[in-house]
Copies of this chain bind each other. A is one copy, B any other.
Amino acid sequence: MEFSATTFRELCQQHGIAVTHQRQVLFEIMQGMHGHPSPEEVYARVKKKIPAISLATVYKNIHLFVESGIFREVSMHHGTLRVEMNSRPHHHMVCSMCKSISDIDEADLGLLPSHQKLPGGFLVERYAVDVIGICPECQAKKVN
């Protein structure tokens, strides 16, 4: 486990957040979950331990965990449907600050698959690569 050496109390102190019962149970249950649960799925699990917990609290703490880097989001751009009209083979540069998405040509990325068969027999159609980082505009804005 990633946080086995550190107690949850210490983890909260590092990030300057209060150690509440809800927060601790939420953290422990999420740590034990497999896959990529939605907030509703997490809520359902936590309610078994804390029946009075609010869905809003689940959302607020998930965001807090993600902002703190304790957990992550699967997709940087899960918000609304975005349409792709560019038919050239390309990937995306996603800014972790402003969430802007820009195209990058497959050739410019220089990322090539070396395996053809994936574990479990997954049949590959294509790759979609998100290069996550800081766009030039946000680099300029950033005060370090």
Contact = CB atoms under 8 A, between A and B. Distances in A.
Given A87-B2, A136-B120, A74 B62 contact: no
A124 B92 CA distance: 12
A104 B119 contact: yes
A36 B127 contact: no
B127 A127 contact: no
A57 interface: no
Contact of A125 (B40, B113, B132): B132
Main secondary structure of the interface of A (DSSP, over half): mixed
A12 interface: no
Interface string A62-94: 100110000111111111111111010000110
A132 B6 CA distance: 36
A121 B108 CA distance: 13
Contact of A73 (B30, B83, B124): B83
Q: Which of A33, A37, A93, A131 has the most CB of B within 10 A?
A: A131
Given A113-B111, A129-B128, A80 B38 contact: yes
Interface in A97-144: 101-102, 104, 108-115, 118-136, 139
A127 B113 contact: no
Contacts of A75: 75, 77-78, 82, 128
Nearest to A62: B83
Nearest to A139: B123
